[in-house]
Amino acid sequence: MMERFFSIGEVAQRLGISVQTIRRYEKLGKFPEPRRNKVNNRREYTQNDIIKRLKILGRSIH
């Protein structure tokens, strides 16, 4: 089974923060850099990436 990847917009919605905040936190090192799509260089996040970011933000996982 293939792993599903989420866009930065989907992650922002799930985290309850803006896309700009995610980019800023990645630039500042608060969030780890995500993998990049080899074709278009867009960020790709896994479900585990989202869970890690929720923990960093101190939010519970539902």
The string of pLDDT tens digits covering residues 1-14 is 788 999 999 999 99
Strands (E), the chain: 35-36, 43-44
Q: Which two tokens stand for residue 31?
A: 């969030």
In-domain check, residue 3:
no
Q: Which two tokens stand for residue 53?
A: 């970011």
Print the domain residue range for 13.
8-56
In-domain check, residue 1:
no
The string of pLDDT tens digits covering residues 27-55 is 999 999 999 999 999 999 999 999 999 99
pLDDT at 3: 87
In-domain check, residue 20:
yes
d(CA 59, CA 36): 25
In-domain check, residue 13:
yes
Total domain count, the chain: 1
Q: Which of 54, 42, 39 lies closest to 9, judged by CA?
A: 42
pLDDT at 52: 96
In-domain check, residue 2:
no
pLDDT at 62: 61
Global confidence as pTM:
0.88
d(CA 46, CA 38): 16
